[in-house]
Structure 1
Amino acid sequence: MTTRSSRMPNHALLRPLDPGRPLQRQIQERIVEAILSGAIVSHEPLPATRVMARQLSVSRNTVTLVYEKMAEDGYLTAVERRGYFVDERFLRLSAETRRAAMGPFNPDRPADARPSGWARHMRLRPSHQPNIRKPTDWQRFPYPFVYGQVAADPVSLTKWRDCIHQAGRAEHLKSLMTDLVDADDPLLIEQIIRRILPRRGIRAGADEILVTIGSQNAVYLVSRLFCGPGTRVAFENPGYVDARNIFELDGAEIVDLPVDASGARPNQRLDDCDLVYVTPSHQAPTNVTMTMQRRLALLQAAERHDLLIVEDDYEHELNHVGPRQHALRGYDRSGRVLHAGSLSKPVFPGLRLGFIVAAPEVIVELRALRRLMYRHPSALDQRAMALFMSEGHYDAHIRRQQDMLARRWTTMLGEIERQLPDCEATMTTGGSALWLRLPEGIAAGAFQAEAARHGAVVEVGDIHFRQPRPEHNFLRLGFGPIDNARIPAGIAALRQALDACLAARNRAPPRPEEPRVEERDAGAQ
């Protein structure tokens, strides 16, 4: 059906279309926007399909399909020999929505009145805590040494889409249509037990596992359950700032646990603690792996002092140098280790799926707590991940990731040694990042700004220390999202940034040297 032209202003629809997005979806969005803004009125038909097609530089068939679909969805009404009109029911609903959003009219209320005094009602101010800051547009930089991101794997993306479609089929619909309340997808639990835990040296039953929205969410749940004012938490320094913020938000007192080339170092500070948080596989942020001697010493200290251990094993699978060690929980004989892991970080960081393994009585309480927060993670995501794992796609992806990261790890270390000999890189057993120490007198923040001017994104290490100081000179360089072929040029850009910073340091008057304390040991490898 064709229609005659409406007097709708051209600018309501004629912004350039994005060739990277489906044309029909964009045209429908523009028409809905024009209806809501009043550019399309109910008593006049929409422009004829040939007119609209000519104005948008698309095929007439494309516009026809959009009109027909919008009629099916209730936006438009087809009137024989007259064309397509805006459906009156849609207009009424839109008007009611706008009136509800505006609220009841009060002539005595000033037009710019705003609620005030929110701060005095807030019990917590999470926004005031220190946080990792990365540019939201990091992808536009030619050399993104960004941690926590991965390069797109076309094979895995295709397989994941297939699993999403498969999860929506009739045989799986029951699991999606039903509110799981506080339960988890049994197929995903089975896959975690069969495929994930054995690699970590862990044996567990279904009653010892809870699915979470990432490993960080697992840490949050544990903190809510076990921490409060008066709780003392031994925490790696430097350490993962988001986890530290979680414990502090619940009122816990943080006790520094120093880090060196062998990982977190158990010491007498554990004597009066209630809980210890560690990242043994890849210490965050230095990426070192805790030695077997340290692991056993920590477990012995936990038994001796009646401690609980929170093990955040967020990327266990990404070790690619030497034999992979078992998780702490794999050596735990007293049931003191709560093991948190991520299912999505090595695959699709934005997916946000993880799990926690703990004693059954702990899982019961964590499950009840999770129910109060968000009931359960998306049933669709859980089922799709279960299928992704059961069909072998997860294992295949991890193998490709290990090979790819091993090549980049080797290139990174080689180029740093060649181009940045005055910097010190921490030796690791793999992972997706390196911990780099800049020359003395070069502040990480100043270097980060200079690197950005040369097209490189880096992460300052200061934020991971509990008491950041201006002279801290550590960086975390992620190499997950940067192509291996671009690493040499990227390190060359860092060399240029460092030369600029060194020149500025040499021009500046000397500063009196301050005594360094344990924080120096925490970063020295």
Structure 2
Amino acid sequence: MSQPMEQPLWARLFQLPDQPGLPIQVRLRAVVVQAILDGRLGPGTGLPSSRDLAQALGLSRNTVTAAYEQLVEEGFLESRPRRGVFVAANAALARADVPALQQDPFRATSGTASQRPPDWRERVLRSQAERPTLAKPRDWHAYPYQFIYGTYDPELFPTDDFRECCVRSLSRVQLPHWTPDFEKVDVEALVEQIRQRLLPQRGVFALPEEILITVGSQHAFYLLAEALFDRSTRVGLEEPGHPHARNSFSVRDPQMVNIAVDDDGLVVDAMPNVDYVFVTPSHQSPTTRTLSLERRQWLLRKAELQDFVIIEDDYESENLYAGAPMPALKSLDTSGRVIYIGSLSKSLSPALRLGYIVAPRELIAELRVLRHAQVRHPSAFLQHAYALFLSLGHHESHARRVNAIVQERLARVGDALQRHLPDFQFTPPQGGASVWVEGPAWLDSAELADVARTHGVLIEAGRAFYDRPPYPCPQFRLRLSSISGAQIDAGIHALALAVQELAAARGIRRGGGGLVH
């Protein structure tokens, strides 16, 4: 429960507007309502007593009491005997017959030009507000069928193992290993676990000074953009590709160059001249295709011939269900042209925000200084706890368990798609935790996503993955890291109902093999 503020702060929050035509009590009710609707006063926030607020605002106590009583009656406030007055739990849904304020209560009331607030739309120089990205609705947890990324899966999270590591990190003997200010360095135990346990599995062997811990892979994208890109830099990206990488890179406004992908991943022969190219070779985001060994070798050779650098996001490399693992580009690199990005938290929980960069020591040294200026360093406690998680073998056992469960979910979603949406195309992935689906040519997946939400289904529309999305865009992604296997068939059936509803609105009827005009 929120605690009441000091009197000067209440006077600032409830500054009465200069509107002589309105009674003081009405003006007081208006500023209280405005503060609630704006979210400045959340449900359960305690308000000062009528005596204290009257003293803070220089009003009579009767005026404040009358305003409180009216707002209680209207549902904005609630009175608790012997405790005080609080913002009601459903206050934002209430409505009051109070004249709208002509100005924000936080704004000075004299109306002079010097007291006007800044125009932030003019001042923001690098807005990301309009860029397409993957986003969940605020009430995503209320949807029964969540084919989306970034949600917590209680079936997969290793609660007991991770709790053990956190408790061990909090023991007195371990406190000196993570409580000091690390400034530019990282927890040595985590760096050692990465270089001795994780990287060798991908054929990568690095020195400690070639590894930097990040606040997730997206932080790695941003660090690289800040250090390496400007408006003259040409950056190649897969199309469709990773929206978070594209958006992070765009902050420095480089020249984005789209490169096609096909069944063998990035089409290397289609690459124009670039300074950097970003790739997700293990399981291409979002198509899940794997970059062939022939193309990996040709990409590395081309990087030497044309003098560009490869940024490799080893996306979902641990999730492999068929065939032999493909070597990381970094493992094949003999000239130091590959910057390698890995994630520690993706398969565990994206909320942990732990990742790392492997690159030549000269670049890592620069990134350390840049990271220090941004966030100083990632949580040392989480670094230490995750180092224990790795050292005790929990990471490997968790990965095996995740792979078995996700492989089962992939089989279920493949069967459900064939039965409920037979005219939709997909290729069962060899790894990863998602399926890239292509609907009929008339379908736009963003429109389908809107209709699907009314059926309780969340999907990732294909438009977010394109720099230049087609219309209609029939592709979409089904993530399987958050939905239980038991819900998949019902979820795809509900999605099929959404397709039928959208088709009916377009005048498209179902034929023997699916939907036809």
TM over 0.5, shorter chain: yes
**What corresponds to 1:264 in structure 2?**
266
The corresponding residue for 2:171 is: 169
- Using the alignment, how far apart are the partners of 2:468 and 2:441 within structure 1? 18
Alignment of 1:342-421 (within 5 A): 342-421=343-422
Deviation at 1:186, TM superposition (A): 0.2
Deviation of the 1:133 alpha carbon: 2.8
Aligned counterparts of 1:446 and 1:183: Cα–Cα separation in 2: 47
Q: CA 1:278–1:173 in structure 2 vs 1: closer, same or farther (change >3 Å)? A: same
Alpha carbons of 1:441 and 1:268: their partners in 2 closer, same or farther (altered >3 Å)? closer
Report the Cα offset of residue 426 of structure 1.
Answer: 2.9
Q: Report the structure, 1 or 2, having the larger helix content.
A: 1
The answer to whether 1:204 aligns with 2:228 is no
**Could you tell me which residue of structure 2 aligns to residue 290 of structure 1?**
291
Aligned to 2:29: none
- The DSSP-based 3-state class of the residue aligned with 1:128 is coil
Pick which of 228-237 and 216-225 moved more: 216-225
Q: CA deviation at 1:319?
A: 1.8
Tell me the alpha carbon deviations over residues 425-461 of structure 1, each in whole angstroms, 9 at most, x when there is no partner. 1332121111101111111122112211221111100
Are positions 1:309 and 2:306 aligned together? no
Quote the residue 1:157 is aligned against: 159
How many Å separate the matches in 1 of 2:208 and 2:51? 57
Instruction: Give 3-state SS (helix, strand or coil) of 1:356's partner.
Output: strand
Structure 2 CA distance for aligned equivalents of residues 204 and 321 of structure 1: 28
The residue type equivalent to 1:261 in the other structure is: D
Q: What is the SS of the residue equivalent to 1:314?
A: coil
Please state if 1:129 is matched with 2:134: no
Q: 2:128 & 2:154 partners in 1: Cα distance?
A: 32
CA distance in 2, matches of 1:255, 1:144: 33
Of 122-131 and 485-494, the range deviating more from structure 2:
122-131
Deviation at 1:299, TM superposition (A): 0.8
1:315–1:360 CA distance, 2 compared to 1 (3 A): same
One-letter amino acid of the counterpart of residue 216, structure 2: G
Kept after mapping to 2: 8 A contact 1:147/1:432:
no
SS at 2:436's partner residue?
strand
Q: Would the alpha carbon gap of residues 427 and 265 (structure 1) be closer, same or farther in structure 2, given more than 3 Å must change?
A: farther
Are the aligned partners of 1:409 and 1:430 in contact in 2 as well (CA < 8 Å)? no
- Matching of residues 268-283 of structure 1 within 5 Å: 268-270=270-272, 272-283=273-284
Q: 2-side partners of 1:154 and 1:257: how far apart?
A: 35
Counterpart code for 2:368: R
Superposed CA offset, 1:139-173 (max 9, x none): 21111111233522476112212211211111221
The residue number in structure 2 matching 1:247 is 249
Change (3 A) 1:305 1:398: same
Letter in 1 for 2:162: W
How does the TM-score come out when normalised to structure 1? 0.75
Letter in 2 for 1:128: E
After superposition, the C-alpha distances for 1:12-51 in whole angstroms (9 at most, x for unaligned) are xxxxxxxxxxxxxxxxxx9x965x644999xxxxxxxxxx
- For these two proteins, the number of residue pairs brought into alignment is 419
The residue aligned with 1:322 is 323
CA distance in 1 between counterparts of 2:399 and 2:143 reads: 26
Report the TM-score, using the length of structure 2 for normalisation: 0.76
- Aligned CA distance change for structure 1 residues 409 and 266 (closer, same or farther; 3 Å): same
Deviates more, 1:132-141 or 1:485-494: 132-141
Residues 456-467 of structure 1: matches in 2 within 5 Å?
456-467=457-468
Describe the SS at the equivalent of 2:178.
Answer: helix
> What letter corresponds to residue 450 of structure 1 in structure 2?
V
Aligned 8 A contact 1:150 1:481 in 2: yes
Aligned residues: CA RMSD: 2.8
Provide, for residues 295-330 of structure 1, a one-character-per-residue CA deviation record: whole Å limited to 9, x for no partner.
111111111111100001132111222222221101
User: Residues 442-481 of structure 1 correspond to what in structure 2 (within 5 A)?
Assistant: 442-481=443-482
Q: Distance in 1 between matches of 2:186 and 2:203?
A: 23
Question: Within 5 Å, which residues of 2 pair with 1:14-29?
Answer: none
Gap change, CA 1:420 and 1:507, over 3 Å in 2: closer
1:253 alignment partner AA: Q
Secondary structure at the residue paired with 1:387? helix
Once structures 1 and 2 are overlaid, which stretch shifts more, 132-141 or 160-169? 132-141
**Matched residue SS, 2:507:** helix
Structure 2 unaligned regions, length at least 5: 1-41, 53-82, 84-104, 510-517
- Match of 2:223? 221
Instruction: Check whether the contact 2:410–2:428 (CA below 8 A) recurs between aligned residues.
Output: no
Q: Relative to 1, partners in 2 of residues 1:33 and 1:207: Cα closer, same or farther, differing over 3 Å?
A: same
Q: Distance in 2 between matches of 1:40 and 1:431?
A: 62
Deviation of 1:470 (Å)? 2.5
- Inter-CA distance 393–363: structure 2 relative to 1 (3 Å threshold): same
Counterpart Cα distance in 2 of 1:40 and 1:168: 46
Given that residues 422 and 439 in structure 1 are in contact (C-alpha distance below 8 angstroms), is that contact kept between their aligned partners in structure 2? Answer: yes
Structure 1 window deviating more from structure 2 (248-257 vs 261-270): it is: 261-270
Task: Give the counterpart letter for 1:497 in structure 2.
Answer: A
Does residue 494 of structure 1 match 2:495?
yes
Distance in structure 2 (CA, Å) of the matches to 1:269 and 1:107? 59
Q: Report if the CA contact (8 A) 2:107-2:116 is conserved.
A: no
* Aligned partners of 2:146 and 2:457 also within 8 Å: yes
- 1:114 Cα deviation after fit: 5.1
* 2:260 and 2:267 in contact (8 A); partners too: yes
Partner of 2:122: 120
Structure 1: tracts of 5 or more residues without a match:
1-29, 42-84, 86-102, 509-525
Is 272-281 or 145-154 further displaced after alignment? Answer: 145-154
Given that residues 286 and 426 in structure 1 are in contact (C-alpha distance below 8 angstroms), is that contact kept between their aligned partners in structure 2?
no
Q: Equivalent residue for 2:92?
A: none
Q: Whole-Å Cα distance in 2 between the matches of residues 347 and 107 of structure 1?
A: 52
Q: Determine the C-alpha separation between the residues in 1 that align with 2:329 and 2:208.
A: 19
Which position in structure 2 is the counterpart of 1:140? Answer: 142
> Quick check: 1:202–1:327 contact (8 Å CA) kept in 2?
yes
